[in-house]
Structure 1
Amino acid sequence: MPEGKIVKALSGFYYVLHDGVMIQCRGRGVFRKNKITPLVGDEVVFQAENERDGYIMEVKERKNELVRPPIANVDQAILVFSAVEPDFSTVLLDRFLVLVEYNHIKPLICITKMDLTNDNEKQAINEYADHYRNIGYEVLLTSSETEAGIEGLTPHVEDKISVFAGQSGVGKSSLLNVLRPDLELKTNDISSHLGRGKHTTRHVELISIGSGLIADTPGFSSLEFTDIEAEELTYCFPEMARESENCKFRACLHISEPKCAVKAAVESQNITQYRYQHYVDFLQEIKERKPRY
């Protein structure tokens, strides 16, 4: 039977790309029975008599998957955050980074709307960008309006499946429109009442950009750490993972343990205070999480 990649999921249909042809498929009932949900990015086996009437027979093993947005086999997560409108949020960025690190997906931080910043805002964003670069993350400062910085993004998407992720209104669709103008993706302004973007992307779809594929995903503004255990959280903060090797106790959680190398690094400003505080808050959230049965 033929094989292909799911590039779009919408209204119960899965659109499978096979030899340059899009086949509209449904999932077999066995998937519902076994609680398997095909995801965009899945490599699948299917059968079809024509381009409109196919069935997915098998989902190949995934190398990773995300729940929100629902996508599989991602090589890279492009975390899109605006400098302003909505304001840049380190706590939300760190939530995204924790999830991405936990799923062993390479992150790229892309800060948009730099053209809208005043001098003080621009200075603050540049300082944050330096903090994250010092950790080891790549950070791009861009503007879809002026197209500044966009040329730095293009090489990163070649030959990869990338997911654009970020809260609503940060300019994900605008970035994609610059990368591929023929898309003409719908964009909306920030809601003045809610202070956040209106949702313009309603489903997950892989879009070809050069030799790469990018998933434009529905915007969202919260993430839950449903699968991460307390002792795993350190390893989702690369700078803390490095320092933790020097902690006195192997199972150190960097809260109240003696001779904690991570806390010492915070005191010496080798780890930023806000990143450590986010770690503490996330750890408490994980500890208070209701057990799953």
Structure 2
Amino acid sequence: MVEGKIIKALSGFYYVISKENQRVYQCRGRGVFRKNKITPLVGDVVLFEESNPGEGYVVDVKNRKNELVRPPIANIDQAIIVASAVKPDFSPLLLDRFLVLIESKNIEPVIFISKMDMVDSDKQKAIMNIREDYEKIGYSVLTLSTKDPEGLLTAKNYFRDKISVIAGQSGVGKSSMLNAINPLLDLETNEISTSLGRGKHTTRHVELIEVNEGLVADTPGFSSLEFNELDQQDLADCFPEMRERKADCKFRGCMHHKEPKCAVKAAVESGDIPSYRYDHYLHFLEEIRNRKPRY
């Protein structure tokens, strides 16, 4: 048996790149997976055996360090959130929604803010201030445009030796950015529909494509931005600046909402935590509390 990594799943076939010879094998899953209700995912490290030249069967799936349902992918090292400065307008609330979802899966987030060549000086200043806030929290933030070779070179280095997913709302320029980093990809891009103010999804199946000696899942990112799998008591842990202060709250299990002597609220009042981040936390907390119960 040979170890490999699934780089594409399509119509019941798994395309596995062999660790041994770097060749790609078209494999089927053994019936045992269906019996045990295991579905091999793109990103899985698997054992497979060759049945014919270039073909084989996946016989075992190694333990995963993480997995996503949408897109269905495993063992992700980082999620690159692409947010555009304009068209669609930059939204800190939407950015925080992505960050919470990614933090909840124990995946490292990286923030790219695209289309910086299209902003005026006031908007640029506002975005640079927000960038500073997120860098203080500990996030890597890159501002770039597809016309800025230096920024693209910096962006390219983030992909090396990692499995990445690209997240972000439609129309922010995810495919355009990947094409600019690696023109050989020639990914299909769709302009934003101006009447709807949103782009169309252009990717249809999950595939890992090579970008600068790393692998990237070319998918529309998260098709659902609901907090369906997140409990309210775990929400604050998805905000790193709250996570590191929770031990200083008076009450264990403090929700940083109406409790007295809360270290998080004190940090908001002193300006150490941006008030908009705290507002987003309360917004998400309310959303989770009002969620319909699951049965």
Task: Classify the TM-score, shorter chain.
Answer: over 0.9
Contact 2:165 2:221 in 1 (8 A): no
Q: Which residue of 1 aligns with 2:4?
A: 4
What is the 5 A alignment of 1:112-127? 112-127=114-129
TM-score by length of 1: 0.93
Q: 1:77 aligns with which of 76, 79, 86?
A: 79
| Structure 1 residue 46: Cα displacement | 2.0
Contact 1:166 1:220 in 2 (8 A): yes
Three-state SS of the structure 2 residue aligned to 1:157 is coil
Q: Which residue of 2 aligns with 1:150?
A: 152
Bigger mean CA offset, 110-119 vs 44-53: 44-53
Unaligned 5+ runs, structure 1: none
| Structure 1 residue 97: Cα displacement | 1.0
| Structure 1 residue 251: Cα displacement | 0.7
Bigger mean CA offset, 11-20 vs 70-79: 11-20
Q: Which residue of 1 aligns with 2:68?
A: 66
Contact 1:69 1:204 in 2 (8 A): yes
Q: Deviations over 1:42-63 (max 9, x none)?
A: 0112233235643322211001
Report whether the alignment pairs 1:37 with 2:39: yes
Q: Which residue of 1 aligns with 2:202?
A: 200
Rounded to whole Å, the distance in 2 between the matches of 1:115 and 1:278 is: 28
Q: Which residue of 2 aligns with 1:15?
A: 15
Q: Which residue of 2 aligns with 1:171?
A: 173
Q: Which residue of 2 aligns with 1:86?
A: 88
Going from structure 1 to structure 2, the CA distance change for 1:281 and 1:97 (only over 3 Å counts) comes to same
TM-score by length of 2: 0.93
Rounded to whole Å, the distance in 2 between the matches of 1:41 and 1:94 is: 26
Rounded to whole Å, the distance in 2 between the matches of 1:264 and 1:242 is: 13
Residue type of the partner of 2:249?
A: C
Report whether the alignment pairs 1:97 with 2:99: yes
- Percent sequence identity is 61
| Structure 1 residue 29: Cα displacement | 3.5
| Structure 1 residue 243: Cα displacement | 2.1
Unaligned 5+ runs, structure 2: none
Q: Which residue of 1 aligns with 2:135?
A: 133
| Structure 1 residue 120: Cα displacement | 2.2
Rounded to whole Å, the distance in 2 between the matches of 1:10 and 1:86 is: 32
Q: Deviations over 1:204-241 (max 9, x none)?
A: 21111232212221245641222222111111101111
Task: Write out the 4+ residue segments of structure 1 that deviate beyond 6 Å after TM superposition.
Answer: none
Residue type of the partner of 1:44?
A: V
Q: Deviations over 1:183-224 (max 9, x none)?
A: 111111101121011111222211112322122212456412
